[in-house]
């Protein structure tokens, strides 16, 4: 009933910038917290940043000061602005959202398919 689609990944030079988007669609009543996660080959998935429905944000220490998460509630879309990218940021980035769908009173977790970000030296 709900689909999350990420976009904006690609190849970028170290020090460059990239902007990821996550668009939610379907039988959405409301979207609560949203977040970006990433996973590099052979490593555990890690939280990058989260944002509540009210706009409160939280960041992993490794990206503080470089990444900015935001959302447009009217468009059911979340963004991740990534600046000063480092090779260590290379990973598949996944969108996550807690969404209340039609017919339910409680939120459920939904995941996007992921978008690859590769940062070259």
Residues sharing a CB contact under 8 Å with residue 65, sequence separation 6 or more, in sequence order: none
pLDDT at res. 11: 98
Q: How long is the chain?
A: 121
CA dihedral 100, 96, 1, 6 (to 10 degrees): 140
Give CA–CA dist 103/121, Å, rounded.
49
Q: For 49-93, write each residue's pLDDT tens digit.
A: 999 999 999 999 999 999 999 999 999 999 999 999 999 999 999
Q: What is the mean pLDDT of the chain?
A: 97
Q: For 15-54, write each residue's pLDDT tens digit.
A: 999 999 999 999 999 999 999 999 999 999 999 999 999 9
Question: Mean pLDDT over residues 102-110, rounded?
Answer: 95
pLDDT tops 90 at residue 1: no
Question: Mean pLDDT over residues 104-121, rounded?
Answer: 96
């Amino acid at each position: 009933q709900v689909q999350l689609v990420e976009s904006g990944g690609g190849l970028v030079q170290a020090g460059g910038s990239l902007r990821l988007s996550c668009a939610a669609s379907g039988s959405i009543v409301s979207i609560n917290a949203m977040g970006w996660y990433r996973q590099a080959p052979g490593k555990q998935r890690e939280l990058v940043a989260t944002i509540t429905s009210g706009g409160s944000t939280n960041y992993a220490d490794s990206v503080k000061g470089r990444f900015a998460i935001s959302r447009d509630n009217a468009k059911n879309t979340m963004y991740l602005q990534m600046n000063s990218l480092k090779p260590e940021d290379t990973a598949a980035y996944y969108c996550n959202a807690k969404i209340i769908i039609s017919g339910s009173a409680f939120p459920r977790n939904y995941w996007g398919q992921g978008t690859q970000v590769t940062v070259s030296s």
